Amino acid sequence: MLKMGDSTEIFVDIMSEHTAAATATKTIEFDAAFQAHHRTVFRAARSVVHDCGLAEDVTQEVFIRLYKHMDSIKTDEMLRPWLIRVALNVAKNTVRGNIRANTRDENYVKESVGSSVYSVESEYEQQAEIGEITRALNKVKEPLRSCLVLKQQGLSYREIAESLSLNEASIGTFVARARAEFMRFYGKIGRDVL
């Protein structure tokens, strides 16, 4: 025969097991979210900061924020747009207030001085091409540029619309206009260099 105290202890044991299981489920959800969306967050960050090291820092910050705010995300379909929006905001803040990019560029130049002429020439050509692409992309107006970058990273129109708080029906037009503007600017830059 169970006494009142015994049934309370059993209930408390059952509740603690349930709480432990819920906590374990939350950890698994975070791990799954990290596995599924790490590359997307990294690419979104890198598209803004243009530096892999800074993009990794931004990615870590985004997933720290996800861990802290895991309860506020109600559905799995809202997770990816939320992560991209946070990644873009953190990356923009990093660019605004961060001087480390200049320091990294200076360190890279110091390290590459001792390399051979061929590698310096090929590196220069690659950097020039990247610079041309970046300049052309930076001339494309917002929100067209963000739509183009996110579409290039494989997001659907719905995900782009949710990430940038835009109307989903206009995303296709924005992407098409962004591509046209990019090609126009990229062609001008290419002719000016030659």
Q: How far apart are CA 131 and CA 185, in angstroms?
A: 13
Give the pLDDT of the chain (194 residues) as one tens digit per residue: 555 555 555 544 555 555 444 444 444 588 888 999 999 999 999 998 888 888 999 999 999 999 998 888 878 788 899 999 999 999 888 887 665 556 666 666 666 665 545 567 777 788 888 888 888 888 888 888 888 888 888 888 998 898 888 898 999 999 999 999 988 888 765 444 32
Residues 171 and 132 in one domain: yes
Is the bond into 81 cis (omega within 30 degrees of 0)?
no
Q: How far apart are CA 173 and CA 167, in angstroms?
A: 11
Among 62, 84, 114, give the residue marking a domain's end.
114
* CATH number (domain holding residue 37): 1.10.1740.10
Q: Are the C-beta atoms of residues 131 and 145 closer than 8 Å to each other?
A: no
Residues 109 and 30 in one domain: yes
Residues 141 and 94 in one domain: no
The pTM (predicted TM-score) of the whole model is 0.46
Segments forming the whole domain that contains residue 106: 14-114
Burial class (CB in 10 A: 0-12, 13-18, 19+), 69: exposed
Q: Are the C-beta atoms of residues 157 and 172 closer than 8 Å to each other?
A: yes
Q: DSSP 3-state assignment of 149?
A: helix
